[in-house]
A and B are shown apart, each in its own frame.
Chain A
């Protein structure tokens, strides 16, 4: 039964026929990521964005968000109902938690139908059907929920009319079973009834036959059947038939022969226009209009994009907002791709003859000419969306920068454009080397206008402020930010993790400041040990971050053989990591540097979480003294960085890994930091370095009681740490030394293998 249609049905049809798919292929293992600035969509709850708290808009946002931003930038608003529709659309798209909509209706039908006595019960109905075309692999939703709802309603009505145990009812149910048997496969057509059968029974059967042909994919037979019903004034299905004829043409266009698609769509359009023009078919008007939108979407996509853009840009409340925005963005995806910057497609040139589409494409464009176009449009329109686009695209050396900055600075703090405009003015100042100007502006913004900024916008500004820090202390203030969200992000959708997903350890970090990627890079690559030591004792950092900095600084001093710094930092580290106290005391008590260095290596073996760098975001979650089950032990990232920087993509990755040095750092400090980082990176996989050090110490001090254990732990590190091609050599060296020199030691017995790599 295919009579009633809802907007959801239209949506589902569009989803089935047109929607942009998920392209992610899952891999792993996955860990919870911190997101400081959302880039795929705005931060949650999305209701805030729908309400106009749009923050700093990102070109990487999906187009449905940029449309909303465009409206707000233009001074337009959305009604409460419209905001609800927007949030629904976003969740429909983001939430891949699949829920088959038809299930309750199928269940309702089966329950009602199984109450009819004398018929074999039905326990399952498959609603999807393969296209059944050679060399095509696709499934489509063949029987939708309305089919089952209409069948259940009809069953109820006929049971009342004919009686629950009557022969005609039983026959009707059996025929209906045949209709639904077509949902998943084959062709099951109920037998026609004799001309002398009861008129209603016969009319129902005719309808069932047409519907069965429809689901079986025999569209010509279905059309003939529905056309006959449309001409039968005695049939209760007469008024529904014209609409079903249109649906059959549409289905034929979707699933029929390629060369008949355009003609079938044209027929569907003609038929739907006829229905809308007929006052007798008033009950079908709403559904016909919805279906006509879908038909026109496919028949005249360019026109529809333009019409939708005009409608979506209007000032009046739009009850069809969700559907129109859905269609509009899907059509744009079809024309120009669903990735930001994909506007290079030749088809993009055919669009953009309305302000909304032009703005969207320009704002997302990565081409250099996007800046000049945005400036030109801003000059022509003086509109805020084009001002924001121009500020976002322009380079600091463009002659229009001064005028753009002046116009941006005039935007009031209460405007939705404020965070974006401020961010880009600061960005342009920083890029032009106007650090003082940028600093003053940022301080003012962060002091006065915090209330107008969401977490992502705040973090974007704090990040800029970090780069123009005047001192180490200032840098440390802005290097720490509270993440805008946490996400498993295993598929790049930045979906915030549910509360129950987070472990207790993670929950304790929620709401606390952490280092973002660039802050960690600055600390690791741009700040020399002499300053890192100061950071480790600075009270500017909260304890959980100071602990990370202190361990990094101590490990760095150990590897760089900076005895004084290592000794100086040991008490700080002891206070922050009390579980290392004994090992650090041994380090301090060691008589000379070589003994100290071995004490340090021994401590490292016992605390696989130690590393000479600070972590980004949540970082390693396993306690410092325990082995991580995903091999994040003994400083994995150095080996990892070396591996990922190799190969043809290495140059690109190295460039992406670069970070600007904060302005307070002198050239000499930067040079020292570079030298130190290069030395650390050259060590390769940490287990190799550790094994080498242990074997060297063991050779010189074989009677040291810690040596057998250290050798055992070194071999263990070559298995559970990140390794490289040299690891086997060092694993074997430690193993051989242990077995040759201490054959009967308990640690030797616990070391039956060495590990190649």
Chain B
């Protein structure tokens, strides 16, 4: 048996270490992404009611079965500035309810926002305050983004991720079109993207047929879905987490109907 010369051994050893590092890194990276999704999927309760900016009395819900994602603030991007409007409508929930504070981002049409790096930081700082809400399992950001705005929102979410407590999960609402095609969600620092399966416009048919088939291309969109009580979704995928919006405000009857319809 021929012995390996020391220099060659060193090179081989270095190559082996490098290869192992790559494998370990990849495993870590994959596990990181997967474990994050798995953690979100395990968050209970998995039926979440969206409580928008209107008086909502949700004391009737069973906190073992239902969570509440409530509009906590609206962040207006105007010119170079960021204005934050807190929730001004009452929301009461049952004791022990798990909550998800939601920040809605609105772009001013009369004074279009700069969408600069600075504005992304300022908006992220405003939203990050929601990470301190008691009983919050995660923070959700609701926004509409055209393709040209993707980069700005990517920056904003990166800034937000850095500012949130390490234990806080980060969720975003997503247009159905974001969940297929170029998949700009892939490298966002989020734990969950919730495809909005209502008010879909022309995309509706494509999205509905995709749901009936193999589901969305983006893995980020496969664990949860957002629906509305006034638009029935026939082929709702088997998602871990279901968010429901009610344009008329919530009552016990509507909640029971949702639970019955979607077997929750």
Contacts and interface: CB of A to CB of B under 8 A. Distances in A.
Q: A and B from one assembly?
A: yes
B72 A137 contact: yes
B88 interface: yes
Interface in B196-225: 196, 198-206, 208-210, 212-214
Interface stretch (A26-34, A392-400, A434-442, A523-531): A26-34
B104 A135 contact: no
Given A29-B203, A630-B202, A139 B91 contact: no
Given A137-B70, A640-B202, A756 B213 contact: yes
Nearest to B96: A135
B45 to A, nearest CB: 16
B149 interface: no
Interface string A339-365: 100000000000000000000000000
Nearest to B147: A629
Contacts of A136: 90-93
A756 B234 CA distance: 20
Contact of B54 (A23, A29, A100, A724): A23
Interface string A641-668: 0111011110000000000000000000
A137 B204 contact: no
B67 interface: no
B245 A25 contact: yes
A725 interface: yes
Nearest to A721: B206
A648 B59 CA distance: 30
Interface majority SS (helix, strand, loop, mixed), chain A: loop
Given A27-B196, A648-B232, A649-B232, A639 B89 contact: no
A739 interface: no
Nearest to A501: B109
A99 B146 CA distance: 25
Nearest to A99: B83
A728 B213 contact: yes
B55 interface: yes
Contacts of B52: 21-25
Contacts of B203: 29, 630-631
B76 A98 contact: yes
A544 B262 CA distance: 47
Contacts, number: 143
B175 A140 contact: no
A20 B87 CA distance: 13
- Of listed A138, A631, A643, A756, residue having the most chain B CB within 10 A: A138
A642 B87 CA distance: 40
A24 B88 CA distance: 15
A136 B70 CA distance: 11
Contact of A138 (B90, B144, B198, B212): B90
B34 to A, nearest CB: 24
Interface residues of A, number: 55
B165 interface: no
B175 A643 contact: no
A27 B214 contact: no
B109 A685 contact: no
Nearest to B207: A643
Contact of A135 (B94, B175, B209, B247): B94
B166 interface: no
Nearest to B233: A647
B232 to A, nearest CB: 5
A416 B156 CA distance: 52
B171 interface: no
B213 A643 contact: no
A97 B110 contact: yes
A632 B204 CA distance: 11
A685 B205 contact: yes
A488 B107 CA distance: 14
Contact of B53 (A16, A21, A29): A21
27 contacts: A15-B88, A22-B52, A25-B52, A25-B247, A26-B104, A27-B196, A29-B175, A131-B90, A135-B95, A136-B91, A136-B93, A137-B72, A137-B99, A138-B87, A138-B91, A141-B88, A630-B203, A636-B205, A640-B204, A643-B204, A646-B234, A647-B232, A649-B232, A685-B205, A722-B202, A722-B205, A725-B212
Given A722-B202, A722-B206, A723-B209, 19 more contacts: A22-B52, A25-B52, A25-B247, A26-B104, A27-B144, A27-B198, A29-B201, A29-B202, A30-B201, A136-B91, A137-B93, A137-B101, A139-B86, A139-B88, A140-B88, A498-B110, A648-B232, A756-B213, A757-B210
Interface of A: 15-16, 20-31, 97-100, 128, 131, 134-141, 339, 488, 498, 501, 629-632, 636, 639-640, 642-644, 646-649, 685, 722-725, 727-728, 756-757
Interface of B: 50, 52-55, 59, 70, 72, 74, 76, 83, 85-95, 97, 99, 101, 104, 108-110, 133, 142, 144, 146-147, 175, 177, 196, 198-206, 208-210, 212-214, 228, 231-232, 234, 245, 247-249
